[in-house]
Chain A
Amino acid sequence: MAGAGKTPLYETHCRLGGKMVEFAGWVLPVQYTSIIDEHRATRERAGLFDVSHMGEIGVAGPGALEFLQELLPNDIARLEDGGVLYSPLLNEKGGFIDDLLVYRLQPDRYLLVVNAANTERDLDWARTAAGGRSNLVVQDESDRWAQLALQGPRARQVLAKLAREDVDSIGYYRFRPEVEVGPARCLVSRTGYTGEDGFELYCTPQEAPGLWDALLEAGEEEGVVPAGLGARDTLRFEACLPLYGHELDEETTPWEAGLGRFVALEKGIDFIGRDALVAKQEPGRCLVGFEMLDPGIPRTGYELTVHGRKVGQVTSGTRAPSLGKNLGLGYVPVEMAVPGTRVWVRIRGEDREAVIIPTPFYRRQRTRLPTKSHDSN
């Protein structure tokens, strides 16, 4: 890949002492002070993340809904204006090309928010699927959007200080398109990737640095900290939110990944991958969470074994900062997917004992949220 991209907040991160690393073709901070501190601050107060690397694909035109219904397995017709839906993006075999969020801006205008590393592939896939349709435009809008995530129990108080309208009334997996927040005009979305309450704010690249500074300043009293990719990963891991390239790939179906609730087989539309998913409805393996009983930290790619025989593979693992345990996610044969079942992790040639436990590892104490809640991952 030619030189990694800089988000509009690159200089801001450097000024704040961010330790910059390359991720999915972008230079982003892995941490500012400490992954553990930033993780805990987000769980206890709030963290501010630059997620401008995420890709945005616009789908517009009278044929937009029909097209998305064929492209995606979730039921896009369920969306109203201001609604957000999580969906897999599948190949013909029912394997993940990506996972994404669909925003309905208007009845014939949608925004897909996709993983940075997959943006081009998703675009190619969508355009191929769109074929010669003349009632539709599929457009890469990634350069037009910066994205900041404000996540944590105090996110709502902090955003309320800056927003010129009541953002706390935005329900879970809902958004409002044009909200004045400090110096920026934002699409404010009640979504996130941390397991906490919070918001994702989409604005122009030009407005992003001013918005970032305003959020940190407004949040000083509440103890908001800038947080890097490292904490974003440990937070999503504890909440067992899947990460493309780890839990999800082209060989993995939503059934295996435990994401069947985002597949609407009965929506009455023959979407890409549907036939394969119908045929694969009883998967041989599935995603489980496990806790190490022996010392050691499970890492991506380590083998899972039983009696020395390989039964699966670790997809993610670390020492969970909020839980103080060495935990992992991985695929095992379905008959093993029962909490309490012993499994071993091959760490440096040695099989170390672990036990399958319920997921998610971490679930926040839910505070009451206004309006109806939507399905989400």
Chain B
Amino acid sequence: MYPEELKYSAEHEWIRVEDGRGTVGITHYAQDQLGDVVYVELPEVGRKVKKDEPFGVIESVKTLSDLYAPVSGTIVEVNEALMDQPELVNQDPYGKGWLMVVEIETPAELDDLMDAGGYRKSIGAEG
């Protein structure tokens, strides 16, 4: 449910870091809380995002939630597939349901994020 190789934010985003770039999505817990995702609004490629600030919106049948950037950086890619298939966020939150890729500006910000164990604890999923 919470892959060990990812870092997690208190706002329920995950980030996978490779070569100075981070792929960002929402966690299993977040998609489960939202329920059926029916709409995702993401910024344009090239825009800058700031750590802990909203960069987009995710909506389920019942509710909507802001998406918060786990790190600061510049968006280099967004998941266009979600325009037609927002349900990918429910079906595969750590894979096909990814949201965006950012060029990480300040790698030290990653130290503020939780590891899988810390995140599990924060949502009360341990034990």
Contacts and interface: CB of A to CB of B under 8 A. Distances in A.
Q: Do A and B come from one complex?
A: yes
A230 B33 CA distance: 13
Interface residues of A, number: 18
Contact of A295 (B36, B39, B60): B39
Interface in B45-95: 57, 59-62, 64, 83
B113 interface: no
A296 interface: yes
Contact of A297 (B35, B36, B64, B83): B64
B98 to A, nearest CB: 19
Interface string A286-303: 000000000111010000
B41 interface: yes
A292 to B, nearest CB: 10
B38 interface: yes
A35 interface: yes
A36 B35 CA distance: 9
A348 interface: yes
A319 B39 contact: yes
A297 B62 contact: no
Main secondary structure of the interface of A (DSSP, over half): mixed
A319 B36 CA distance: 10
Main secondary structure of the interface of B (DSSP, over half): strand
Contacts of A19: 35
Interface in B1-40: 35-36, 38-39
Contacts of A30: 35, 62
Contact of B61 (A234, A296, A348): A234
Contact of A318 (B57, B61, B83): B61
A299 B64 contact: yes
Contact of B38 (A31, A233, A297, A348): A297
Interface string A310-323: 00000000110100
B39 to A, nearest CB: 5
A353 to B, nearest CB: 16
Contacts of B60: 35
A230 B39 contact: no
Interface string A232-252: 011000000000000000000
Interface string A163-204: 000000000000000000000000000000000000000000
5 contacts: A35-B36, A36-B38, A296-B39, A296-B41, A348-B57
Interface of B: 35-36, 38-39, 41, 57, 59-62, 64, 83
Top 10 nearest A-B pairs (CB, nearest first) are A319-B38, A35-B61, A36-B36, A297-B59, A34-B36, A230-B62, A297-B39, A35-B36, A318-B61, A35-B35
